[in-house]
Amino acid sequence: MYRVQDEVSLLRASLQGDTGAWGEIISRYKDAVFGLCLGFMRNRADAEDVSHDAFIRAYVNLRRYDLERRFSTWLFTIAANLCRNQLRYRKNHPSTEQPLQIQGGTDPARLVGAEDRQTRIREALAKMPYSYRAPLVLRFYNQLPYQEISDILAIPEGTVKTRIHRGKAMLRDVFEEGA
Task: Decide which of 94, 120, 141 is a domain's last residue.
Answer: 94
Least confident of 37-41, 48-52, 56-60, 155-159: 37-41
CATH of the domain at 178: 1.10.10.10
Least confident of 39-43, 67-71, 120-124: 120-124
Q: Is residue 144 part of a domain?
A: yes
Q: Between the CA of residue 43 and those of 64, 95, 98, 159, what are the distances in Å?
A: 30, 12, 6, 27
CB 69, CB 151: distance < 8 Å? no
Which pLDDT value is given to residue 111?
58
Which pLDDT value is given to residue 57?
95
* CA pair distance 59, 43, nearest whole angstrom: 24
Asked if residue 125 and residue 60 are part of one domain, the reply reads no
Asked if residue 121 and residue 62 are part of one domain, the reply reads no
Asked if residue 55 and residue 18 are part of one domain, the reply reads yes
Over 80: is that where the pLDDT of 116 sits? no
Which pLDDT value is given to residue 175?
75
Mean pLDDT of 13-18: 91
Which pLDDT value is given to residue 101?
47
Which pLDDT value is given to residue 105?
47
Tally of structural domains, the chain = 2
Asked if residue 146 and residue 58 are part of one domain, the reply reads no
